[in-house]
A and B are shown apart, each in its own frame.
Chain A
Amino acid sequence: MTEDLEGVTTPWRPPDKRPVAVWLGSQAPMRSIRWLDGALAAAAKLGAANAIAAGEPGWLDLAADRASRAQIACIGVATELQLDYLGWAQIAAAVVRQVGASTILVDEGSRPDRFAEVAALAELLDAAQLTHVVTLVPDGKVLLAGRAAGRELHSVRVRGPAVLGVRIPGPPVDEYPTPMPSAALRRIDLAALGLDPVVLAHRALAPRAKQPPRGTVDQLADLLAVHVAPRRREDT
């Protein structure tokens, strides 16, 4: 059973099946929603699509609002769980199976930890994977993807079931209205997906101490130390 915004309870029915899905993740974008908009626009170009998001209600409302602007249906899985990449991928994969999608885009650009969910989702769905996609064009049954790899661009043809992590920006958005709860958001709970929160909790993120803001040169140098390019050893 599901309950709508007016509190009316209706029998649960599965969401509409569509061949394309776009996984928007479990948290709102960190700094800008233009990557979220870009992922939605890229999905819309590929055909009938469902956007999928999971997490707390405010984020689901934002996801549904941006999806509706891209004219894409949105499915939200409300949960308070804090999971790692494999935990969120299990939820996303369960929804993808419900909607029967074979092409799944993942919004990689909105949050730094999202790229790992591309591989996890591909593994769970036994699909091909491609990360760091910066251009995507459909060509019949083939997708022509541009993949950024260091300072190179790979032109890649992708056929069949695939999960693609996209970093494609939408137009600049300086400010956007606070989204309101929308009847257009199709809410699904974990039980309807056949997922047990107790089992999923095995993929819970370990609690981490909140990091203080880094505002000194020493702290900045410490942060950048893991980005310093290793030098080739003299004897090699």
Chain B
Amino acid sequence: MAAVLVHIDLDGDHAHPSSLAALAAGRLVASSWGATLYAAVIARDTVDGRSPDSTTHALTTSQVPGFEKLQPQLARAGADKIVVALSDVPVSPLWASVGVAWQGVLDHLRPRLVLFGADAPSAAEVAPRTGAKIGARLLVRGRPLGLEDVELRDRDGGYVRAQDSGAAVVLVGAAPDQPDGDDDIDVIVLALPGGGDDRVEVAATQPLASADSCGALIVVGDDVAADAAVLADIAALAGALDAKVVGSRAAAASVTGADALERGSALAPELCVQVGATNLDVAGATTLVRVGAGGKMVDAAVPGPTAEIIGELVGKLAPPRGRP
């Protein structure tokens, strides 16, 4: 039976919400394709000196702090089986740290489809390297579509279907919640020592001093900064997208918690929603959309009355409880 594998990033002792979205997408696909859905977690092994063929230590999840919370979470989210890969180096969202252990999981399962949460911390590092390892096609921000014959489709028309040949790696952008699965679930524990790539060493971690490279940004235009209704909708949209709000000094001054950026600052977020007109350089955004303004070379632009457009947009994207 084919394997659908979902990489689970951890957020404390819980699965990262974006990884759970990938697991939900995986549940839909695996059920449709008749595949087994594996959720794989990489954790630090607390037993020193273990070898792959070690028989001196029983392989259990007792070495994984918080696993008693994680296991039911992954089971309810739809996993058929959980794979815990025990690494002998500290886990970080870098290929250099988790690559050896993750390679072990790939070798063990030989999956046909590997899913990552698009916003999960290790997605940018591990997903494309996984694709390169197994020669897979790569889809970015895909989502499941269809009822009986479920496929994964990205915004540019790329797709992964049951009858495709070859493997695929998909960074999942969205998926509907799935009904609770069964708490009784098989757990496979793999000891995968081998160290990390010592050519890459994380020396320190600190908050980004500037918001210009963070995941999602909403840029407040100078022309809408005095409109309280627009600013309320921007706050709601920021909540829905988990976005940072930025603007020029004048615009940012009118928005609680917004970062002020210098004129001409170069922004390179994953997503940039520009509301109104701005003199910030947003060309480095991976996905760029404009609200209340037109433009070329953008992924979407809806010109017209800004207040109406963003109000309608928030109504579609942000559930009422998310609004201030």
Residues in A lying within 8 Å of B, measured CB to CB: 30-32, 34-35, 84-86, 89, 109, 112-113, 115-120, 122-124, 128-132, 134, 148-162, 167, 169, 172, 206, 208-209, 211, 213-221, 223-233, 235-236
- Residue of B135, B206, B313 near A152 (CB, 8 A) is B206
Given A172-B281, A211-B156, A224-B289, CB of A119 within 8 Å of CB of B128: yes
How many residue pairs, one in A and one in B, have C-beta atoms under 8 Å apart? 233
Asked if B108 CB lies within 8 Å of chain A CBs, one says no
Contact (Cβ within 8 A) A236 B73: yes
How near does chain A come to B321, taking the closest CB pair, in angstroms? 10
Chain B residues with CB under 8 Å of A228's CB are 174, 240-241, 317
Chain A residues with CB under 8 Å of B223's CB are none
Contact (Cβ within 8 A) B17 A229: yes
How near does chain A come to B124, taking the closest CB pair, in angstroms? 5
Asked if B29 CB lies within 8 Å of chain A CBs, one says no
Contact (Cβ within 8 A) A223 B300: yes
Contact (Cβ within 8 A) B266 A216: no
Q: Which of B150-209 touch A at CB < 8 Å?
A: 155-158, 173-174, 177, 197-209
23 contacts between A and B (CB under 8 A): A31-B288, A32-B281, A116-B128, A123-B133, A124-B132, A128-B96, A129-B129, A129-B200, A149-B205, A153-B209, A167-B284, A215-B300, A219-B300, A220-B300, A224-B271, A225-B173, A227-B241, A227-B271, A229-B240, A230-B18, A231-B17, A233-B20, A236-B15
- Residue of A112, A113, A156, A227 near B202 (CB, 8 A) is A156
- Residue of B21, B156, B317 near A221 (CB, 8 A) is B317
Contact (Cβ within 8 A) A130 B94: yes
Q: Which of B84-106 touch A at CB < 8 Å?
A: 93-96
Chain B residues with CB under 8 Å of A85's CB are 128, 131-132, 138
A162 to B206, CA, bound (A): 23
A122 to B76, CA, bound (A): 37
A221 to B142, CA, bound (A): 15
A227 to B117, CA, bound (A): 11
A131 to B123, CA, bound (A): 11
Q: Which of B109-129 touch A at CB < 8 Å?
A: 117-119, 121, 124-125, 127-129
A211 to B298, CA, bound (A): 12
- Residue of A86, A117, A134, A220 near B302 (CB, 8 A) is A220
Given A157-B203, A160-B199, CB of A119 within 8 Å of CB of B95: yes
Contact (Cβ within 8 A) B17 A230: yes
How near does chain A come to B77, taking the closest CB pair, in angstroms? 8
Asked if B65 CB lies within 8 Å of chain A CBs, one says no
Given A115-B124, A116-B138, A229-B242, CB of A155 within 8 Å of CB of B206: yes
Contact (Cβ within 8 A) A224 B317: yes
- Residue of A31, A208, A223 near B157 (CB, 8 A) is A208
Contact (Cβ within 8 A) A235 B132: no
A155 to B301, CA, bound (A): 36
Contact (Cβ within 8 A) A220 B202: no
Contact (Cβ within 8 A) A132 B213: yes
Q: Which of B223-277 touch A at CB < 8 Å?
A: 240-242, 244, 264, 266, 268, 270-271, 273
Contact (Cβ within 8 A) B299 A223: yes
- Across the interface, name the chain B residue whose C-beta is closest to A118: B128
A115 to B143, CA, bound (A): 20
Chain B residues with CB under 8 Å of A89's CB are 132
Given A89-B132, A206-B158, CB of A169 within 8 Å of CB of B268: yes
How near does chain B come to A216, taking the closest CB pair, in angstroms? 6
A229 to B117, CA, bound (A): 10
- Residue of A148, A162, A236 near B214 (CB, 8 A) is A148
Contact (Cβ within 8 A) B202 A151: no
Contact (Cβ within 8 A) B95 A162: no
Contact (Cβ within 8 A) A230 B21: yes
Chain A residues with CB under 8 Å of B138's CB are 84-85, 116
- Across the interface, name the chain B residue whose C-beta is closest to A170: B266
Contact (Cβ within 8 A) B214 A230: no
Asked if B323 CB lies within 8 Å of chain A CBs, one says no
Chain A residues with CB under 8 Å of B300's CB are 213-215, 219-220, 223
How near does chain A come to B78, taking the closest CB pair, in angstroms? 12
Contact (Cβ within 8 A) A227 B173: yes
Asked if B32 CB lies within 8 Å of chain A CBs, one says no
How near does chain A come to B23, taking the closest CB pair, in angstroms? 10
How near does chain B come to A35, taking the closest CB pair, in angstroms? 6
Chain B residues with CB under 8 Å of A213's CB are 300-301
Chain B residues with CB under 8 Å of A217's CB are 302, 309, 312-313, 316
Chain A residues with CB under 8 Å of B288's CB are 31
- Across the interface, name the chain B residue whose C-beta is closest to A209: B157
A18 to B240, CA, bound (A): 47
Chain B residues with CB under 8 Å of A149's CB are 93, 121, 205
